[in-house]
């Protein structure tokens, strides 16, 4: 009797994505996909998050969970009191340490669903949860109550969809299942004081939309 193979640990999955350039490449060894590099997607996002950070008279400490190749985060460091940039891939973090340097910037290699996270005012989770299983998402959400603000970006279908269909950690997302992550819906039922959409980019009816929401906890 053939038993189904166990899914790879998330760390190994993410390492393979970069090694095999499954999110594409710009000629470098580490590329976090078009969603982190296409200016029509990234520029409005950077402006929206920058405006939020600048709206505070005292700069916020930011914890960027799943910082990737840091093509986005590098634009936000100057508007933060301290910026923790975290990813699960060791080689990626070592590469980022060499390329991006600032007195208020720290890179850490952590599994955000398992490891303790730095203290901060604001969490940024940009197109991270969509690649993970519901169990991992639940473990991450339990930690977010320690932060006042969460800026969450998810790639979801256009129109009505069934939220939070489960999947294993992988390169892909729930879009082909006409699903996407909604942390306020079952089975997560994440409790927040308020929420506000900061930015939305529609790729197409078939390819969905990328929505960035600010949650105040």
Summarised one tens digit per residue, pLDDT across range 118-141 is 999 999 999 999 999 999 999 999
Pick from 7-21, 71-85, 91-105: least confident: 7-21
| CATH number of the domain bearing residue 45 | 3.40.50.150
Average model confidence (pLDDT) for the chain?
90
Contacts for 99 with CB less than 8 Å, ≥ 6 apart: 70
pLDDT given at position 33:
57
Number of structural domains in the chain? 1
80-100, pLDDT tens digit by residue? 999 999 999 999 999 999 999
| Residue at 82 is within a domain | yes
* Domain assignment present for 4: no
pLDDT digits (tens, 9 = 90+) for 29-76: 666 656 667 889 999 999 999 999 999 999 999 999 999 989 999 999
Q: Is residue 3 situated within a structural domain? A: no
Domain with 179 in it: 10-216
Note whether residue 5 is domain-resident: no
- Residues 195-215 have pLDDT tens digits of 999 999 999 999 999 999 999
pTM of the model: 0.91
Query: Residue 150 falls within a domain, yes or no?
Result: yes
Q: What is the mean pLDDT of residues 148-158?
A: 97
């Amino acid at each position: 009797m053939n038993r189904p193979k166990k899914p790879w640990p998330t760390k190994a999955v993410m390492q393979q994505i970069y090694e095999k350039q499954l999110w594409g490449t710009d000629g470098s060894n580490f590329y976090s996909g078009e969603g982190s590099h296409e200016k029509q997607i990234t520029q409005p996002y950077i402006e929206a998050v920058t405006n939020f950070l600048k709206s505070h008279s005292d700069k916020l400490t930011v914890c960027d969970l799943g910082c990737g190749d840091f093509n986005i985060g590098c634009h936000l460091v100057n508007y933060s009191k301290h910026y923790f940039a975290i990813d699960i891939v060791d080689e990626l973090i070592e590469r980022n340490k060499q390329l991006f340097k600032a007195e208020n910037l720290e890179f850490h290699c952590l599994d955000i669903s398992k490891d303790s996270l730095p203290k901060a005012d604001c969490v940024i989770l940009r197109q991270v949860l969509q690649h993970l299983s519901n169990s991992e998402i639940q473990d991450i959400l339990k930690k977010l109550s320690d932060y006042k603000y969460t800026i969450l970006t998810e790639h979801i279908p256009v129109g009505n969809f069934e939220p939070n269909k489960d999947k294993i950690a992988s390169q892909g997302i729930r879009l082909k299942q006409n699903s996407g992550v909604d942390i306020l819906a079952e089975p997560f039922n994440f409790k927040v004081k308020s929420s506000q959409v900061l930015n939305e980019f529609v790729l197409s009816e078939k390819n969905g939309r990328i929505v960035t929401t600010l949650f105040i906890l």
